[in-house]
Structure 1
């Protein structure tokens, strides 16, 4: 559940201008809660309950607030004090090394992406209606590849266009977050997403990392569970506009 917080601290430290980490202490001086700011998005976490007054103060002082995301119960607490216009609730699932199953057999060539593939990957994702990709998405791909905080696997057609894709982001010593799983509308229902997902998962698991992902589409959930993902909670993303 703390993949983003762990990954961002590990990868970007405490002195990045786009990131801050606020800590909530108990009466014994032990850390019991954390609030991460990454650019203008915030992730709260607490073992029991958050320091709602101070968490709200930090978040609302940001005039360019984009999103608050985290465990459903924590985001709901914050939502009682901030008038979010949209809240997206998803299932949060995890895959560990001892639970992967049904490795997909296929005849497709699956490739691991490099910087030269970013433009083609982005061209696929902007065609996916379910995704809301802005101009910053392309730069995010570039950053994850350059910093080794994410990777992508894809299948291309005979014209060299990417037709199926699965990626990770926020990778750290322990885990990686699966994002952007998709296939071109013309080639759906052919198992391509399962193929690229399988290749992606096997590589991370071979490195001793677990994988996590969000999903709200039951069809996608069935694909992930066939690979061995198990639901471990719910994750909410709340937007002020």
Structure 2
């Protein structure tokens, strides 16, 4: 049976999700931040003999799915929920789970992208210097300016608001380095921070300052600080060369994450 979840389900939902806190980072974070009554967020759960076996989160018009057994959930039932939204459907989750929704006749998914999912639970002891700074709201324009200069990044009108909201709500933080002109030349950020974990995003260095180890230094410092408070730090990547850098910091691949958007 699939039904909408409420605050009365919170304890069993969290117990279920915390079996895999890294994979469920986004769902856990959204529940902790917005609960079960936000107008832009809904959750559904599948139950068998009173036990929850799968969860679907809708955040605005995007969905995230998680289940206990990829072969034992109601694919058609969850698909019927997603059919009611705009098309193509934006969906993400552990690759072997969400790929069960492919090729259903009544569900149109967005363009598929598969990335590595990596996790770090061990911090490296490093000597921090005054060069590494933690961003405040006053630094947002300079951070966005750096991202705008890099082809791989796509900033939108909402980028500044997202950074501002993350800093204000403490669901994200950004560390950066700057040059003598006080221009930001390298950044690393977190997003979706919750009580258990955080996701690394926004790893970038200005093209004129690459191959100097700046991103690695920032990431090592950021991971160290986050792991003082949480169990895990996670990230997605699809570039094997970037993967080598992350593994030097202490990340290990734990699976694949698929996004349809």
| Per-residue deviation, 1:66 | 5.9
Task: Give the equivalent residue in structure 1 for 2:16.
Answer: none
Q: Distance in 2 between matches of 1:150 and 1:34?
A: 24
Q: Distance in 1 between matches of 2:223 and 2:27?
A: 21
Question: CA, structure 1 residues 93+48, in 2 after alignment: closer, same or farther (shift >3 Å)?
Answer: same
Q: RMSD of aligned C-alpha atoms? A: 1.7
Q: 131-140 or 222-231, which moves further after superposition?
A: 131-140
Task: Give the equivalent residue in structure 1 for 2:92.
Answer: 69
| Per-residue deviation, 1:136 | 1.8
Query: How far does the alpha carbon of each residue in 1:66-94 deviate from its partner, in whole angstroms, 9 at most, with x for none?
Result: 62111111221112223435211100000
Question: CA, structure 1 residues 69+122, in 2 after alignment: closer, same or farther (shift >3 Å)?
Answer: same
Which one of the candidate residues 179, 189, 193 is aligned to 1:171? 193
Which one of the candidate residues 96, 107, 117 is aligned to 2:121? 96
Q: 120-129 or 227-236, which moves further after superposition?
A: 120-129
Alpha carbons 1:43, 1:69 under 8 Å: kept: yes
Q: Distance in 2 between matches of 1:80 and 1:6?
A: 28
After TM superposition, the score normalised by the length of structure 1 is 0.91
Higher relative contact order (Cα pairs below 8 Å, separated by 6+ residues)? 1
Q: Secondary structure at the match of 1:53?
A: helix
Alpha carbons 2:88, 2:109 under 8 Å: kept: no
Which one of the candidate residues 39, 47, 53 is aligned to 2:68? 47
Structure-to-structure mapping, 1:1-241, within 5 angstroms: 1-26=23-48, 28-49=49-70, 50-63=73-86, 67-81=90-104, 82-97=107-122, 100-101=123-124, 109-239=131-261
Question: CA, structure 1 residues 87+153, in 2 after alignment: closer, same or farther (shift >3 Å)?
Answer: same
After TM superposition, the score normalised by the length of structure 2 is 0.85
Aligned residues: 235
Q: Distance in 1 between matches of 2:46 and 2:159?
A: 32
Q: Structure 1: which 5+ runs fail to align? A: none
Q: Secondary structure at the match of 2:227?
A: helix
| Per-residue deviation, 1:17 | 1.4
Alpha carbons 2:118, 2:253 under 8 Å: kept: yes
Alpha carbons 1:59, 1:65 under 8 Å: kept: no
Structure 1 stretches of 4+ moved >4 Å: 103-108
Q: Structure 2: which 5+ runs fail to align? A: 1-22
| Per-residue deviation, 1:113 | 0.7
